[in-house]
Structure 1
Amino acid sequence: MSHSLNRRQVLKTGSAAAGLACFSTSTANGQATPSQKFRTAHIGVGGMGGSDLRSIASHGSVEVAALCDVDAKRLAEAAAKHPNAKTFTDYREMIATLGDSIDGVVVSTPDHTHAPAAMAAMNAGKPVYCQKPLTHEVVEARRLREVAEEKNLVTQMGIQIHSSRAYRQAVLMIQDGVIGKVKEVHAWSNKNWGYDKPSLPEPAAAPDHLNFDLWLGTAADREYVPGVYHPGQWRKLIDFGTGTLGDMGVHIFDTPYAALELTAPNWVKTDCRQPTGVGHPERNVVEYEFPQTRFTTETMKWKWYDGSFAPPSPSEVGLPEGTQLPGQGSLFVGEDGHLLLQHIADAVLFPTEKFKDYKRPEVEGESHYHQWVDACMGKGKASAPFSFGGPLTEALLLGVVANRFPNQKLLWNAEQMAITNHEAANKLLRSDYRQGFEVEGLS
């Protein structure tokens, strides 16, 4: 069914709804008691949203209570599989209307809607599972983390590989000191979520099944362009996605960031084409410097490569010529060796002869989705809460900002939350939300 909500009611979603209890069987911090059903509301149910829906719904305690999508076809497909769920086109209406009849919210939208949807849910006191990257803009990532911590809500960023056996084992190996203190990280993806053309194709009317105004959400108003915005090419565009760095970088950054207990970078610099104001570059090399942690040398250099710049040459990363590097992965360069982590595969140690007798730590993989549900129900903890996902996303998105200012080193002050040497870059840490789509805590 479709619902309408006036602007005054929508804006109250961020304040009055915060006073609602999760429901009678939930605790004050959004955790359901272990014996009860956990009722979920899903924002975005096609594409990755459909995968998220299936994975969350496969938990034996989950009851899918609500579905929301701006695409009527995708919404109907999801509703056919969950006929008891209430359906909505506007997530703001869903959250304001359902109140204490939902226990947790899953956000699986294009990047630019992650933060406003997640914040609206948290303002209503709901635990949140939000797809990666956590936000579209740097300031949004900081605010989601702060509010999640202030309200003591169970949260999880949707980097599902984070909970895989291979990635968990790699974290333990690095922290076990297998290659000594790490002085460099190289990470890459040969995917291309960029768009180098100076303009988009001609606009046309949006299809009847798509509410394009709600799809735009907080972004500036514009005409629909077929085959560009919805359903899948938005990642390439600066107003909606975060390019290859945001799409794949967040997965591949995850393990080194966690293993080395990194915080905020000192600076970031990128090598790419000049900005067009339309799309992200089709290939980038992004450099960071991170301050020392207990697992790194005094300062640690981090280099990201994507598109046709990936993978780097073996000699460029200190490996023997002829070493076969995967299309996506990361390489830890330590004082005593190298650890190569292919995307979703077991780590490989170099030199191989030196580490042939190394006994790897034993660890099991987990369902990232079920982990969040269990944590919401008072059993265990989420492994990628916004307290982790927020700072990781901040660092990642500083690289996305740097793509707009090629070959210029941007100095980052995390405490002030400012790029201290570049006023134009500093202004890109957040943008104004379109009138009528403001959210308390972000606007």
Structure 2
Amino acid sequence: MSAVKNLSSGSLSRRKFLGVGAAGGMAAFAAPAFLRAASANGKLNIAIIGCGGRGAANMGEVAGENIVALCDVNRASLDQAAKLHPQAKQFRDFRRLYDEPDLFDAVVVSTAEHTHAFATLPALQLGKHVYCEKPLTHGIWEARVIREAARKARVATQMGTQIHADDNYRRVVELIQSDAIGPVREVHVWVSRAWGRQTPAEAKLHGDIVDVQERPTAVDPIPAEVDWDLWLGPAPERPFNNVYLPGPKWYRWWDFGNGTMSDLGSHWIDLPFWALDLKHPLTIEAKGPEPHAELAPASMQVTYEYGPRQGQPGLTLTWYQGVERPEILQWGIPAWNDGVLFIGDRGMLLSDYGRHMLLPQQEFANFQRPAPFIPPSKGHWAEWIHACKTGDPTTCNFEYAGCLTEANHLGNLAFRLGKKLEWDADALRCTNAPEADPLIHRAYRDGWQLGEIA
């Protein structure tokens, strides 16, 4: 695989980024000719990689197409999916699926986070369309590799940030980009989820979540239906224990996931990323409990600094998870459990998944909203299916999603290193922290190399 360097893309105008028929500014990344020429009413042959949990939900959303292959390291999940699609060929190892590229046109990847890039990259290299659950990859270097491969493949891609398709986000983006609250210099994003290495206060918040403090020394029997070696994939080898499976237990462990930051950050930071045309932060600083070598934190705070963009000022974006909350909520802002607060020169906008308001409310009592200029989504999965067949763009393509994923992972990187990071996006390195390199591009277990089908 070619070296990954100097890959930052040029800026897109806000209108091009949001324009009808050019969502995400990715019209050039169209489907290959053999599918562009096909009838939009024809059915795709889709391979499902990861059939349980989110995989089962994603499979249901694309079940109107031809499901021709099923792949899962868990035999029980595979058997359950086969009841719905008995004609589909079955695989335990997705690398073997890619030995039969003529079988399918597109893949849906819903594995554990640490194998996302490994399941996605071969599809792109083969010119197959890809839908991948969030976060797009487990690491920063992986996100850049996937972005580069997607550019070359020119296929339809979509990351599973389903809320991006809802109307509420569209109306918020229109308000921000129509200058309703003036230039935005500050954004706060907070989520109440407290999964990870919990303090007693956090455990009280989520008493239904099993708290884990250290790597277990006990070795539990591997469930008969699970191929543990395949599930580990590129991650360092370790004995099986019930604290890792089933999901979402695994996502708290750095070897397999990145905790709440990369998971919910994909949904919540998506809104300011979209509205403000964000890409690469200049600096990243985090605070929270003492970093743990193996486990992501339940609570933490990350502050990103972004430079000016196309007439927009530089801004500070702060992320809060678990018990952390913005101080500004003490000043009369509605204290929603989860939210995004844009602070502009002429007002504020508060949003969550399904509602939003302009603040102070009395000052916007007679405000006239802009006419909608972002078209309704066909639906997050339908948008991808349509793009596969027609070459039309998707809104959470891997170019956009790759930048969002990189930024979220940088938040965790700053937390783990315990210092303010200065980020050189072109070089893919922290200029003031060479010790970050092994976390940006981690080593893989023998037999697993990104860019190769073993």
User: For the superposition of Structure 1 and Structure 2, which TM-score range results when normalised by the shorter chain?
Assistant: 0.7 to 0.9
Q: For the Cα contact (< 8 Å) 1:143–1:442, is it kept in 2?
A: no
Which digits, 9 at most, give the CA deviation of each residue in 1:360-413, with x for residues without a partner?
A: 34353431101001000016321111110011111111001112122x101100
Q: Of 400, 406, 410, which aligns to 2:421?
A: 410
| Cα distance between partner residues in 2 of 1:268 and 1:118 | 28
Secondary structure, aligned partner of 1:403:
helix
| Cα distance between partner residues in 1 of 2:225 and 2:436 | 38
| Cα distance between partner residues in 1 of 2:148 and 2:174 | 28
| Cα distance between partner residues in 2 of 1:144 and 1:32 | 26
Shift of 1:436: 1.4
What does residue range 417-428 of structure 1 map to in structure 2 within 5 Å? 417-428=428-439
Secondary structure, aligned partner of 1:194:
coil
Q: Of 261, 264, 269, which aligns to 2:277?
A: 261
Counterpart of 1:305 in structure 2 is 320
Q: Of 201, 212, 216, which aligns to 2:228?
A: 212
| Cα distance between partner residues in 2 of 1:399 and 1:124 | 32
Residue 340 (str. 1) matches residue 350 (str. 2):
yes
Identity of aligned residues (%): 35
Residue 138 (str. 1) matches residue 140 (str. 2):
yes
User: How many correspondences in the alignment?
Assistant: 407
Q: For the Cα contact (< 8 Å) 2:139–2:409, is it kept in 1?
A: yes
| Cα distance between partner residues in 1 of 2:71 and 2:33 | 25
What does residue range 150-161 of structure 1 map to in structure 2 within 5 Å? 150-161=152-163
| Cα distance between partner residues in 2 of 1:341 and 1:267 | 25
| Cα distance between partner residues in 2 of 1:380 and 1:150 | 17
> For the structure 1 residues 31 and 115, does the alpha-carbon distance in structure 2 shift closer, same or farther, using more than 3 Å as the test?
farther
Q: For the Cα contact (< 8 Å) 1:164–1:366, is it kept in 2?
A: no
2:139 maps to a residue whose letter is E
Counterpart of 1:383 in structure 2 is 395
> For the structure 1 residues 31 and 280, does the alpha-carbon distance in structure 2 shift closer, same or farther, using more than 3 Å as the test?
farther
> For the structure 1 residues 284 and 123, does the alpha-carbon distance in structure 2 shift closer, same or farther, using more than 3 Å as the test?
same
Shift of 1:358: 2.4
Which digits, 9 at most, give the CA deviation of each residue in 1:327-364, with x for residues without a partner?
A: 1111101011000011x112210011121222334353
1:308 maps to a residue whose letter is V
Q: For the Cα contact (< 8 Å) 1:182–1:295, is it kept in 2?
A: no
Q: For the Cα contact (< 8 Å) 2:259–2:296, is it kept in 1?
A: yes
Which digits, 9 at most, give the CA deviation of each residue in 1:118-175, with x for residues without a partner?
A: 0021122111101111111001101101111012121111101111111111111111
Q: Of 215, 225, 228, which aligns to 2:244?
A: 228
| Cα distance between partner residues in 2 of 1:397 and 1:442 | 25
What does residue range 14-53 of structure 1 map to in structure 2 within 5 Å? 27-28=32-33, 31=36, 33=38, 34-53=40-59
Shift of 1:30: 5.8
Counterpart of 1:372 in structure 2 is 384
| Cα distance between partner residues in 2 of 1:143 and 1:295 | 30
Secondary structure, aligned partner of 2:272:
helix
Q: For the Cα contact (< 8 Å) 1:145–1:387, is it kept in 2?
A: yes
Counterpart of 2:20 in structure 1 is none
Given the two structures, how large is their TM-score scaled by the length of structure 2? Answer: 0.86
Counterpart of 2:83 in structure 1 is 80
> For the structure 1 residues 35 and 201, does the alpha-carbon distance in structure 2 shift closer, same or farther, using more than 3 Å as the test?
same
Secondary structure, aligned partner of 1:140:
helix
Residue 440 (str. 1) matches residue 444 (str. 2):
no
Q: Please tell me the root mean square deviation across aligned C-alpha atoms, in Å.
A: 2.0
| Cα distance between partner residues in 2 of 1:200 and 1:357 | 59
Q: Of 63, 66, 69, which aligns to 2:69?
A: 66
> For the structure 1 residues 29 and 131, does the alpha-carbon distance in structure 2 shift closer, same or farther, using more than 3 Å as the test?
farther
2:234 maps to a residue whose letter is T
What does residue range 339-358 of structure 1 map to in structure 2 within 5 Å? 339-342=349-352, 344-358=353-367
Shift of 1:432: 1.6
Shift of 1:427: 2.2
Counterpart of 1:124 in structure 2 is 126
What does residue range 392-403 of structure 1 map to in structure 2 within 5 Å? 392-403=404-415
Shift of 1:313: 3.9
| Cα distance between partner residues in 2 of 1:118 and 1:287 | 30
> For the structure 1 residues 442 and 161, does the alpha-carbon distance in structure 2 shift closer, same or farther, using more than 3 Å as the test?
farther
| Cα distance between partner residues in 2 of 1:142 and 1:402 | 18
Structure 1 alignment gaps of length 5 or more? 1-10, 12-25
Residue 324 (str. 1) matches residue 327 (str. 2):
no
Bigger RCO (CA 8 Å, 6+ sep): 2
Shift of 1:426: 2.6
Q: Of 245, 253, 266, which aligns to 1:237?
A: 253
Q: For the Cα contact (< 8 Å) 1:128–1:155, is it kept in 2?
A: yes
Q: For the Cα contact (< 8 Å) 2:73–2:92, is it kept in 1?
A: yes
> For the structure 1 residues 222 and 287, does the alpha-carbon distance in structure 2 shift closer, same or farther, using more than 3 Å as the test?
same
